Amino acid sequence: MKEIEKTDSFKSVVFAPSARRFFKEEKQDQKILKNQISGKRRAFIFTMKALMGFSVILTSALVIFLIVYVMIKGIPNISWELLSSKPSYTSDTIGILPDILNTLYIITAALVIVIPLGAGAAVYLTEYAKNKRLVSVIEYAAETLSGIPSIIYGLVGMLFFCQFLNMQKTLMAGALTLVIMNLPTVMRSTQESLKTVPQSYREGAFGLGAGKWRAIRTVVLPGCIDGVITGCILSVGRIVGESAALLFTAGFAHALNGFFEGLGSSGATLTVALYVYAKERGEFGAAFAIAAILMVLTLLINLLADFAARYFKKRRDR
């Protein structure tokens, strides 16, 4: 132990002056560079820093103002009666329980379909596809689809699911439309996560005698599960906040139904109910209450996505 302490002290004595000399030289170089910068360049740098700071402050102020304003207007209108009852025109009461259930129904139906399709497509394109040109075309098409406005998806869903397939305006037609909307997101996020898995993992599994699918199922997919779950959670956030596509495919009904019965009938989600109460009926108190609930759900979904990504990253690094 004494010998170790002696060597440590010797290293600190020998290397400390050199480290100090290095930092002094670095500071001198920085001062020389600052002196060499012209006045126009300094003015340009100062202007750009001021513009970036102003943009950050303005964006943060707008977000904080929006959250605070919606919460102040919405929270006083939230009550147990609003959350646990359905609307009635005879008693002139407002309730959003059917809308909450319809939102849960459509999220469940969309995720049950989009997760296997998106993850399966990503696994095929990353692990099995041999034609790189075809893969690049499919990736470009997926990126293009993710940028199409949601109202276009709504019109396509109304023409194909509601009219051509004769599904009428139902929650199932809305869920299938949301599947098409979120399929590129799930596929691309899963595909990028699969690419982060080192090739040595696959080679090690093959060296132990595992087949292609067994290596993917037991080695590759567990190594990228964080990206898959994050993409799914973000898809849930998009489903919760979607209204334009569901206006054309799911309808406006506020009926209280079970899961399978509700999928086969028309129904309004929380975002559609927000539009109906604010635009059609002029019930701005209920509209702000729904907006506050949606904002809380969105914040929770984003926090859950961040927590899931960190948790699975730590678990993978162990």
Strand partners, 93: 88
Say how far apart CA 182 and CA 178 lie, in whole Å: 6
Q: Are 271 and 154 in contact (CB under 8 A)?
A: no
Q: Is the dihedral of CA 130, 134, 137, 139 positive or negative?
A: negative
Strand partners, 88: 93
Query: How many CB atoms lie under 10 A from the CB of residue 224?
Result: 22
- pLDDT for residue 95: 82
- pLDDT for residue 97: 86
- In the numeric block, the tokens 């060499």 are attached to 36
Say how far apart CA 170 and CA 105 lie, in whole Å: 11
Q: What residue ranges of the chain have pLDDT lower than 70?
A: 1-38, 316-318
- pLDDT for residue 62: 93
172-207: b (≥16 Cβ within 10 Å) or e: bbbbbbbbbbbbbbbbbbbbebbeebeeeebeebee
101-111: b (≥16 Cβ within 10 Å) or e: bbbebbbebbb
- pLDDT for residue 57: 95
Distances in Å between the Cα of 48 and the Cα atoms of 38, 42, 178 are: 16, 10, 41
Q: Are 169 and 162 in contact (CB under 8 A)?
A: yes
